[in-house]
């Protein structure tokens, strides 16, 4: 690929996002879930949401034509950018050749759900929306601070409090690993092509939960199970989802739990209550444990 002249820059030295897309020689493919952030004001603000984070090695997932990559290189010591589209990966290697030669940028070509993730100090990413949940929950257990772009509806469910309409499995799971804060909503006009929904930037600060669970994988399976039956009482949810939670004797869990708790629905329980119930299920209802 060849370019006509030096990279186009704004007054602050940042590359112009529209010019980056043009030099990439390829438009976004919505069938591949590509929506590129092109609003300079939003792009300039995103690194600031990570200003209290360790930016010695920032991981970016879904770099596309590199508009956010450019902003991250201005504030981070090193950046690793993951991009699954081979054409955009090739564009990134040419566009940021100087940063690569200086060992400040590494381009990883591949799917973020399949490639080996490097050690990183923080992740700042405009995630591909179709895989945003899976990518986020690959990043969260690493215990590093994150600034991630999601669909607004997804972000609101992630940050929801118990008892609210948006509260669910996503809220409890995200809160198990981090404090979740929506720091900015972003309109469709900030993207090219424009998505059909608003977006939101979420800051996730890792922390230990104020409860304990005997096994993280079991806890996640337990949440998945009972929230598939969120309109049922916990009594029925526990009994009906043993195939998901791998409980050999769900009735033993129901019998051992507080009767008033079993009469509630999943959306009414706090994360700490879920943890206590999952611990009871782990100790009393698993195969070989009764």
Q: Token digits for 31?
A: 């069938």
Query: Is 240 annotated for ligand binding?
Result: no
User: Phi and psi at residue 11, in whole multiples of 5°?
Assistant: -60, -30
C-alpha angle with apex 103: 120 to 137, nearest 5 degrees?
20
The region that residue 163 occupies, defined by phi over 0 for left and psi between -120 and 50 for alpha, beta otherwise, is: left
Q: Is the CB of residue 55 less than 8 Å from the CB of residue 77?
A: yes
Query: Is 5 annotated for ligand binding?
Result: no
- Angstrom CA distances, 248 to 44, 245, 286, 289, stand at 53, 9, 5, 8
Between CA 185 and CA 217 the distance in angstroms is 32
Query: Is 85 annotated for ligand binding?
Result: no
Between CA 152 and CA 270 the distance in angstroms is 23
Query: Is 111 annotated for ligand binding?
Result: yes
Sequence-distant (6+) residues with CB within 8 A of 242 are: 225, 248, 250, 285
Strand partners, 124: 147
Q: Is the CB of residue 42 less than 8 Å from the CB of residue 192?
A: no
Feature table: binding site: 35, 37, 62, 83, 111, 126
Feature table: binding site for S-adenosyl-L-methionine: 35, 37, 62, 83, 111, 126
């Amino acid at each position: 690929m060849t370019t006509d002249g030096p990279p186009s820059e704004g007054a602050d030295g940042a590359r112009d996002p529209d010019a980056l897309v043009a030099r990439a020689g390829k438009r976004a493919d919505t069938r591949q879930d590509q929506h590129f952030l092109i609003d300079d004001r939003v792009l300039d603000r995103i690194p600031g949401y990570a200003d209290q984070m360790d930016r010695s090695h920032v991981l970016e997932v879904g770099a596309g034509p590199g508009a956010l990559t450019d902003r991250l290189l201005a504030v981070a010591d090193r950046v690793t950018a993951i991009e699954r589209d081979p054409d955009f990966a090739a564009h990134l290697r040419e566009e940021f050749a100087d940063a690569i030669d200086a060992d400040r940028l590494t381009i990883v070509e591949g799917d973020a759900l399949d490639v080996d993730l490097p050690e990183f100090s923080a992740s700042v990413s405009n995630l591909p929306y179709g895989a945003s949940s899976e990518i986020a929950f690959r990043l969260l257990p690493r215990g590093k601070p994150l600034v991630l772009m999601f669909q607004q509806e997804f972000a609101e469910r992630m940050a929801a409090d118990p008892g609210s309409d948006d509260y669910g499995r996503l809220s409890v799971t995200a809160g198990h690993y981090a404090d979740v804060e929506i720091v900015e909503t972003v309109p469709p006009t900030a993207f090219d092509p424009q998505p059909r929904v608003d977006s939101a930037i979420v800051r996730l600060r890792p922390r230990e939960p104020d409860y304990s669970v005997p096994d993280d994988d079991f806890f996640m399976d337990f949440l998945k199970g009972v929230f598939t039956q969120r309109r049922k009482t916990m009594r029925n949810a526990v009994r009906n989802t043993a195939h998901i939670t791998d409980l050999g004797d769900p009735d033993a869990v129901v019998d051992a739990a507080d009767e008033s708790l079993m009469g509630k629905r999943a959306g009414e329980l706090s994360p700490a209550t879920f943890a206590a119930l999952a611990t009871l299920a782990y100790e009393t209802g698993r195969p070989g444990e009764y």
